[in-house]
Chain A
């Protein structure tokens, strides 16, 4: 049955093809050639003539100049933006927790005093013990921009001559406070605070607080 249908379909298609072949042939109008040759002689090519766009230097340069300007601006502003961001970050780290270049004991002291400093009044500041003031005087702000990691960088001349026995002795004892950006190459030596020093300064703080209370009570009494 399906074969019958297939044959039927094929028959229909073959009829269609036969009819398509039998379609009357359309011929060009009589004046076709005359018109064509007239057009050619008059060079009236109309749409057939390819209109090739002339090379326009301005049109060519305008987009390329725009691209070039964008690239240049990008290279000018992008590194500056980065610098600004790093500077802001560094400044923030400095204002939040100042680091002390020196021995670890001084650092611990500074970290201890960093909190009470904010709460105390100017009057209290003047009453600080001399050893605390000396600590404040010894305070040195951290370097703002460190282009090269001193632990990684090696003086080539020293390295060749053999003088560079230790990587960098100057930064060996530097300890970074909380919140400060540290340059670490995979190792970070954490130096714990000396318990005795902490206790010592805690006592000093307590006595200072007591002295302040006494001073306040004396002022009230005078009034």
Chain B
């Protein structure tokens, strides 16, 4: 009995795409990973438009460099690695842009972001606002810690998978996650008072 493409695993699909250049297999993989990648990149960058661009670039890179995937690795880690690298590049580009704009124009000031961390606790109890506060606090965490915290606590990936994606040792991943959580907790001390 011939399996339908949608029933195939990620690894089977990428193999199908690699061997037979089946565009349908590619489309199924895009469908499966567009949302998780969007979520990951959004939590890392904090910008929806930039995040869409990064995920698009990720998918195009996947389309163009399908042969660089090796079957011994998990497809999810491979695609997450591409997305993470592109997101980090985007972050670097933004930093450069910010420095450039500050250097060039004295009138332009860096935009003031409303700090909702200092809102009244009763207000911050509201889940929507809380989510927003957490996202803003997350963006203040160092990118090296933020990446692993997002992968672990938001994307629910295992330590081993994170280690593969980031190329870090397992111990480093664990310590970075811990440090990231502590940093985040300090930033959200108003919420987690009790």
Contact = CB atoms under 8 A, between A and B. Distances in A.
A and B assemble together:
yes
Interface in A2-21: 12-13, 15-17, 19-21
Interface stretch (B2-10, B35-43, B94-102, B168-176): B35-43
A29 B31 CA distance: 12
A17 B130 CA distance: 13
B34 A16 contact: no
Interface in A191-206: none
A24 interface: yes
B13 interface: no
Contact of A48 (B39, B64, B154): B64
A33 B64 contact: no
B156 A21 contact: yes
A27 interface: yes
A8 to B, nearest CB: 9
Interface residues of A, number: 29
A37 interface: yes
Given A16-B184, A21-B154, A26-B51, A32 B60 contact: no
Given A26-B42, A27-B35, A17 B57 contact: no
B38 to A, nearest CB: 5
Interface residues of B, number: 36
Given A12-B192, A17-B153, A32-B52, A23 B135 contact: yes
A36 B185 contact: no
Nearest to A35: B56
Nearest to B89: A47
A13 B181 contact: yes
B38 A26 contact: yes
Contact of A36 (B38, B51, B60, B130): B60
A221 interface: no
Contact of B39 (A17, A26, A45, A47): A26
Interface of A: 12-13, 15-17, 19-29, 32-33, 35-37, 39-40, 45-50
Interface of B: 27, 30-31, 34-35, 38-39, 42-43, 48, 51-52, 55-57, 59-61, 63-65, 127, 130-131, 134-135, 149, 153-154, 156, 181-182, 184-185, 188, 192
